[in-house]
């Protein structure tokens, strides 16, 4: 199939894309309709259309090339999906004045949506309308001069006692897994997961690295006691760090010693030629979870015995960003993971 995707922005010549679809005739027909619809959005950009609805504008905004990171695309797609179905999406884009947006925000808050979610929708709307004005799709910027809403409270560092409790819980999990090794065929993988969780928890507490940076660590990133953080994951795609910079920091002797001891144990168990990532079990060809990190983070248990350990998914792998968000409490401290028996919620 050959699909016209509009003129080249530099030369003005028409551009075409050749596509090969593997499958039956129905698959080819569905692919043709899908690509034709996307090409129509690309060709229609750049023309002034004051009557375009907000939902249609958001669709074109998402199809445009912005150079976003994969995780940014996922977050924007979630917000755009909601706004497209919301009554505000049926209005003309030029009619989305500050007064209309303020009324929409008040309605969202009355429905129980937290402030961080409402702020994310405002940011998406401002970005999409600004892009449409720059691309001359809109003659005027309907939100021009509108002040941004107040940002949510900054999530502060976790209390030291909470961090110590999490580290102690991870250490206890590793000990319990080592004691029970050999009773079941799955014990080897359980021991590796417990050791992996202990090391990553210790690294997070000592280095302050982001979750995506921890997921992309390799064994060779540690030279002596100096850790090099040069890459990160964004929606399971390995690339540069969030800031695009390479950081080098000196780990504490306890964390560096734990790294070397754990890696030596893994090398003794694993055969040569296996992957050297910290987040890949020896018997698993893929990362331990969809983010490259274990889905279960250690949390202190409500103990009935000294050896009882509770593992709570944090954040839950099933938690959608648009439907299960919890605002920051604004108390100046991070909200700790839920205790055993509590209902897990997601905090972004």
Contact call for residues 59 and 41 (beta carbons, < 8 A): yes
Contact call for residues 177 and 190 (beta carbons, < 8 A): yes
Among the residue ranges 3-17, 108-122, 158-172, 231-245, the one predicted with the least confidence is: 3-17
Task: Report the CATH fold assignment for 53-152.
Answer: DNA polymerase; domain 1 (1.10.150)
Closest by CA to 282, choosing from 216, 170, 177, 188, is 188
DSSP state of 303: -
- Per the DSSP assignment, residues forming a β-bridge with 227 are 222, 249
Residue 84: pLDDT band with limits 50, 70, 90: very high
- Largest CA-CA distance found in the chain, in angstroms, rounded: 74
Considering 101-110, 137-146, 174-183, the range whose residues carry the highest mean pLDDT is 101-110
Give the residue, 231 or 307, on which the prediction is more confident.
231
Q: How far apart are CA 270 and CA 75, in angstroms?
A: 38
pLDDT average, residue stretch 224-228 = 90
pLDDT score, position 292: 44
Tokens linked to 45:
């950009």
Same fold, 53-152 and 160-298: no
pLDDT average, residue stretch 280-303 = 45
pLDDT score, position 318: 30
103, pLDDT greater than 50? yes
276, pLDDT greater than 50? no
Contact call for residues 57 and 136 (beta carbons, < 8 A): no
Residue 331: pLDDT band with limits 50, 70, 90: very low
pLDDT score, position 122: 92
Contact call for residues 226 and 218 (beta carbons, < 8 A): no
pLDDT score, position 54: 92
Q: How far apart are CA 31 and CA 16, in angstroms?
A: 16
Contacts of 266 (CB under 8 A, 6+ apart): 192, 195, 282
pLDDT tens, residue by residue, 128-175: 999 988 888 888 888 887 777 666 667 777 888 998 999 999 999 888
Query: In sequence order, what E strands does 121-168 have?
Result: none
Closest by CA to 156, choosing from 11, 344, 329, is 329
pLDDT score, position 156: 77
pLDDT score, position 332: 36
pLDDT tens, residue by residue, 7-62: 666 776 777 777 787 888 888 888 777 776 666 555 555 566 778 899 999 988 98
76, pLDDT greater than 60? yes
pLDDT score, position 320: 34
Instruction: Determine how many CB atoms are found less than 10 A away from the CB of residue 28.
Output: 15
pLDDT tens, residue by residue, 256-275: 999 999 888 888 877 644 44
Tokens linked to 211:
């979750």
pLDDT score, position 242: 85
Query: In sequence order, what E strands does 193-345 have?
Result: 222-223, 226-229, 232-234, 237-239, 247-250, 296-299, 310-313
| Best CATH choice for the domain 160-298 from the list 3.50.50.60, 1.10.443.10, 3.40.50.10490, 3.90.1300.10 | 1.10.443.10
Domain boundaries along the sequence of the chain: 1-44, 53-152, 160-298
Instruction: Determine how many CB atoms are found less than 10 A away from the CB of residue 135.
Output: 15
pLDDT score, position 165: 92
Cα separations in angstroms, 246 against 218, 231, 237, 242, 298: 14, 8, 17, 10, 29
Tokens linked to 224:
């002596």
108, pLDDT greater than 90? yes
SS3 74: helix
pLDDT score, position 267: 85
Question: Mean pLDDT of all residues in the chain?
Answer: 74
211, pLDDT greater than 70? yes
Query: In sequence order, what E strands does 264-328 have?
Result: 296-299, 310-313
286, pLDDT greater than 80? no
- Per the DSSP assignment, residues forming a β-bridge with 226 are 223, 250
pLDDT score, position 79: 94
pLDDT score, position 329: 36
Closest by CA to 275, choosing from 233, 191, 218, 215, is 218
Instruction: Determine how many CB atoms are found less than 10 A away from the CB of residue 68.
Output: 13
């Amino acid at each position: 199939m050959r699909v016209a995707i509009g003129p080249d922005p530099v030369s003005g010549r028409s551009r075409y894309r050749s596509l090969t679809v593997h499958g039956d005739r129905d698959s080819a027909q569905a692919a043709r309709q899908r690509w034709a619809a996307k090409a129509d959005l690309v060709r229609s950009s750049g023309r002034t259309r004051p009557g375009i609805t907000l939902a249609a504008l958001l669709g074109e905004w998402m199809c445009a090339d912005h150079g976003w990171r994969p995780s940014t695309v996922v977050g924007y797609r979630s917000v755009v999906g909601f706004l497209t179905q919301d009554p505000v999406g049926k209005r003309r884009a030029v009619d989305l004045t500050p007064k209309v947006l303020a009324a929409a925000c008040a309605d969202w808050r009355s429905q129980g949506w937290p402030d961080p979610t409402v702020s994310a929708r405002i940011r998406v709307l401002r970005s999409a309308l600004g892009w449409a004005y720059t691309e001359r799709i809109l003659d005027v910027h309907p939100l021009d001069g509108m002040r941004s809403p107040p940002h949510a409270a900054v999530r502060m560092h976790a209390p030291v006692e909470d961090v110590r409790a999490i580290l102690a819980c991870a250490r206890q999990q590793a000990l319990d897994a080592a004691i029970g090794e050999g009773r079941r065929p799955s014990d080897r993988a359980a021991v590796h997961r417990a050791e992996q969780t202990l090391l990553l928890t210790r690294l997070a507490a000592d280095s302050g690295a982001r979750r995506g940076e921890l997921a992309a660590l390799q064994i060779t990133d540690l030279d002596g006691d100096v850790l090099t953080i040069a890459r990160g994951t964004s929606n399971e795609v390995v690339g540069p760090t969030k800031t695009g910079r390479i950081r080098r920091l000196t780990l504490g002797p306890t964390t560096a010693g734990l790294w070397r001891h754990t890696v030596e144990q893994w090398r003794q168990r694993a055969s040569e030629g296996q992957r050297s990532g910290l987040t890949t079990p020896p018997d698993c060809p893929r990362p331990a979870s969809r983010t490259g990190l274990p889905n279960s983070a250690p949390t202190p248990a409500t103990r009935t015995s000294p050896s009882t350990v509770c593992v709570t998914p944090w954040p839950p792998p099933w938690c959608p960003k648009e439907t299960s968000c919890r605002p920051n409490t604004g108390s100046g401290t991070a909200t700790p993971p839920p205790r055993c028996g509590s209902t897990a919620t997601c905090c972004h």
